[in-house]
Structure formats: C-alpha cells, structure tokens
Amino acid sequence: MTRHPRAGTSDRRGPEDTAGPEQRRGASDRPATAARTFDPGCRDCARLAGFLLSVRADNPGYHCAPVPPFGDPGARLLIVGLAPGMHGANRTGRPFTGDHAGILLYQSLHRFGFSTAPESVARDDGLRLIDCRITNAVKCLPPLNKPLPEEIRRCNRYLAGEIHALAGHSSALVLALGLIAHQAVIRALGAKRSAYPFGHGAEHRLGHLRLLDSYHCSRHNTQTGRLTPAMLEAVLGRARVLLGP
C-alpha cells in the first residue's frame, strides 16, 4: 500500500490570499487509497464494461476500453478530468482528445509551455506533453457522463498510483478539472474533504503536493461562459508560476 501526505492547507485563491484557520485543518478521516498501476484491461466495473461493449458494437473503430493517462511519466503537473467522453477520449484512447472538451485545454497547455502543439487530434499525431500528464478520475466511459459513486471509488486506485508518481518531486502540482476530479484527488490522498473545498482557482496544499482547482472545460461550461479561456489560462498560468520555467 502506498502512503501519501495527508495534512495541508487550503487557499480560496488569489496568490496573496491566506487560508483561514478553519481551512488549515487537514486531518484525514480515512486512509489514502491503495495505489495500483493502471490496468488497460480492467473490467472491474460491470456496468461500465457492459456499456463499453454496447458502444463498441455501434462504433467498431472506437477505443472503448479504459483510457490510459497521457503525457510525461516524470511530470510534475498532473491534470485530472472526470471520465472519457463518448466521442472524444473513448473514441481516440487519449484523454481530452477528439471532442470539444480538449480544445481549450490543449490550447492553454501550449500557451504555457506544457505541450508541443496547441491541439490534440489522435494518439499518433506526434503531440508531446512537457512536464505534464493528463488523466481522468474514472478511466472508462460512463453512461451520460455520470459515473456512479462506487465506480469513482473503485477507479481511485489508479489515480492514487498516478499521484504517487509525483512523490519524487519537491514541487508537484495536481490540477483538478471539476468537483468530481477534485474529490477524487482528495480521496486518493486520504485527506478530509471538508478541509479542501472546491472552487475555481482554489489552491490547496496537501503535504508536498499542491492542488489547484478549475471548472471543467466541458462543452457546456465553455459555451455557457462558466469557464472562459481567460479563466483557464489564469489557472494554468498559476501552475506555471508554481512550477517555474
């Protein structure tokens, strides 16, 4: 079993902001998730495995399997989304690739030097991430983009493994895209959820790790203006400042 740091602080954003006393609690109320190496053949969630079979029957060319993390295995920045999209990651086999959700994300990553190109098209497009890795809290496509709580819990072991891979760095950063990703990171670390409230631009410290939050870059959020390019760039710009050049 892999152990992770558990104590920390939480900042409700603004580099100059400081956490209040109530946010400085960080005691764990459960153990950190036991880390496991990603298994590309995992079928442990029966509902999701069955759904993938039905989607594959209708879309023979689709990946329709757990989607592995993408990027630099030694990265200091780990970006965590929710789950593969039907015609995006579930089709191409790469997180945030092939549908609307990745457009703004990859543009912003490129702007701050985390990728070699501003778009991700397919697994063989030659794109490389630089000091950055992208994954999802749930590796398999869920119906209606809504994983069940037990599916999020079950898949948390793989996320815990990906977070554990950051342990060798003195400064490491996790960027959670959306509330579910944020909560999955907190779970993986065995930290107390109430001590680390989610908010766009929120910044938390958990042991040697920093956790940044952003609204998810879904089509809905970007088209309704809940997440603008400037908002995501502000978060990734902060990540760049924290990690350095």
Q: How far is the CB of 181 from ligand SF4 (least distance, A)?
A: 14
Are the C-beta atoms of 71 and 120 separated by less than 8 Å? Answer: no
x/- mask, ligand SF4, residues 91-130, rule CB under 6 A, reads: ----------------------------------------
x/- mask, ligand SF4, residues 130-169, rule CB under 6 A, reads: --------xxx----------x--xx--------------
Backbone angles phi, psi at 184, to 5 degrees: -65, -40
Q: For residue 66, state whether it binds ligand SF4 (rule: CB under 6 A).
A: yes
Query: How many residues appear in the chain?
Result: 245
d(CA 129, CA 151) in angstroms, rounded, equals 28
Query: Residues 245, 178, 218, CA angle at the centre, nearest 5°?
Result: 95
3-class state of residue 198 by DSSP: coil
Per CB under 6 A, the list member of 43, 87, 192, 208 interacting with ligand SF4 is 43
3-class state of residue 231 by DSSP: helix
3-class state of residue 50 by DSSP: helix
Strands 77-81 and 172-177: parallel
For ligand SF4, give the closer residue by CB, 8 or 81. 81
For ligand SF4, give the closer residue by CB, 96 or 114. 96
Number of residues forming the site for ligand SF4 (CB under 6 A): 13
- For residue 94, what is the DSSP state? S
Are the C-beta atoms of 238 and 14 separated by less than 8 Å? Answer: no
Per CB under 6 A, the list member of 32, 35, 45, 211 interacting with ligand SF4 is 45
Per CB under 6 A, the list member of 42, 80, 191, 239 interacting with ligand SF4 is 42
Query: Residues 71, 75, 81, CA angle at the centre, nearest 5°?
Result: 60
Name the one range near ligand SF4 by CB under 6 A: 28-36, 43-51, 56-64, 87-95: 43-51
Name the one range near ligand SF4 by CB under 6 A: 40-48, 72-80, 127-135, 161-169: 40-48
Q: How far is the CB of 87 from ligand SF4 (least distance, A)?
A: 18
Q: How far is the CB of 195 from ligand SF4 (least distance, A)?
A: 26
Are the C-beta atoms of 230 and 111 separated by less than 8 Å? Answer: no
3-class state of residue 210 by DSSP: strand
Residues that bind ligand SF4 (CB under 6 A): 42-45, 48-49, 66, 138-140, 151, 154-155
